[in-house]
Structure 1
Amino acid sequence: MIRYRSLTVAMMVGLGAISGCSTASSRLDPLAATAPSPYRLDAGDEVRISVGGLDAITNTYVIGDTGVVSLPMLSPIQVAGRTVAEMQDAIAQQIRARQLVNEPNVQAQVIKYRPFFILGEVQRPGQYAYVPGMSVLNAVSIAGGYTFRAQRKYAAISRRAGDRTVEGRATPNTPVLPGDTVTIDESWF
């Protein structure tokens, strides 16, 4: 009888201790839902730029670590934090200022987005190419799926917001953006 009570007490204490356990991602505030906004360029993005009448500029460029793109015949242009349209305007402004073309027709598009990173309880953690419109679940799939220990309900996402980094809790359907770091925690059960 004493043995039975001891076992019951031990189980109650154990369950009480476990119920207080939570993963790091479940303690984070939910990642702020933001309205879709135009994509902002950053280091590592690859862009295709074409300028009518200036074949020397038409090419594919990778935005450098400092957020600058260097085009022939023009000064380096700071493009990190700008939209594609804002980059097109900045290029056109330099072309006009140098009197290379009176009314430049500048076209640009993102060819390859900077990668996202996934860490923790996935089969193949690491750096992967971003796919537009992807979610946490897509990112996990790209990384080979969850491990058997993975916490599947929540993840943590760390992302740049202007000049600072924010971290928040994400569900499997939360969008992943270029440059994000997704962390899948270990589940207690």
Structure 2
Amino acid sequence: MMRKAALSVFGVVLAITAGCASYKPAPPAFHSVINKPYHLDSGDVVRLTVFEQAELTNAYPVDKAGYISVPLIGAVPARGRTANQLEGEIADRLRDGYLRDPDITVSVEQYRPFFIMGEVTQGGQYSYVPGMTVQKAVAIAGGYTPRAEQENVDITREIGGRVVTGRVNISDPILPGDTLYIRERWF
């Protein structure tokens, strides 16, 4: 009888340990991307301000192909570029036959959404706000369900053209385009 109980306890410990074996901490690049300049992608909206050119000053969405369409100069590639890089490209194109010395600024007016699923009240797509953490994202999604693992979450994010998934604490920041998965807890 004691042997049967010991085997049962060993089986439970083995099952719990097997669940922990699937844990993968976030790779170093996962956190280093947070401190790098923001790169534009589909779903972002940029604000282009051209000094003394009201007809060009406007908000321009980055389309699915990764371009913005600016009057006079047409489609400008935005995907993977920072706001400063895009600013330089637009200035060069405007300088080429349209404006003598264009004074422009480009800023992100609206970030692409983030996604949250799993053990939250209302999973889905939500607007990103700079400085957002996992905990704030969960609050926007209506909070945790009673079965939710509340200590850490899995985030899938694109880094350097590769899709990477890592497990982070709820106090960690998220980025536009991230997909958060709230797991179910064991007990």
* TM-score, length-scaled by structure 1: 0.89
Matched, 1:8 2:5: yes
Measure how far apart 1:49 and its partner are: 0.9
Distance across 2 between alignment mates of 1:67 and 1:40: 11
Hey, what does 2:149 align to over in structure 1? 151
Distance across 2 between alignment mates of 1:17 and 1:163: 37
- Mapping 1:105-116, distance limit 5 Å: 105-116=103-114
Does the Cα contact within 8 Å between 1:50 and 1:58 map onto a contact in 2?
yes
Hey, what does 2:23 align to over in structure 1? 27
State the structure with bigger RCO (CA 8 A, min sep 6), 1 or 2: 1
Measure how far apart 1:11 and its partner are: 4.5
- What letter corresponds to residue 27 of structure 1 in structure 2? Y
Q: Decide which structure has the larger Cα Rg and report it.
A: 1
Hey, what does 1:167 align to over in structure 2? 165
Measure how far apart 1:13 and its partner are: 4.1
**Aligned equivalent of 1:127, options 119, 125, 128:** 125
Secondary structure of 2:107 counterpart? strand
Distance across 1 between alignment mates of 2:5 and 2:169: 36
Q: Point out where structure 1 has 5 or more consecutive residues left out of the alignment.
A: none
The size of the alignment, in residue pairs, is 184
Measure how far apart 1:8 and its partner are: 3.2
Hey, what does 1:100 align to over in structure 2? 98
Structure 1 vs Structure 2: percent identity of aligned residues? 39
Hey, what does 2:71 align to over in structure 1? 72
Hey, what does 2:87 align to over in structure 1? 88
Distance across 1 between alignment mates of 2:3 and 2:123: 44
Measure how far apart 1:18 and its partner are: 3.7
Q: Point out where structure 2 has 5 or more consecutive residues left out of the alignment.
A: none
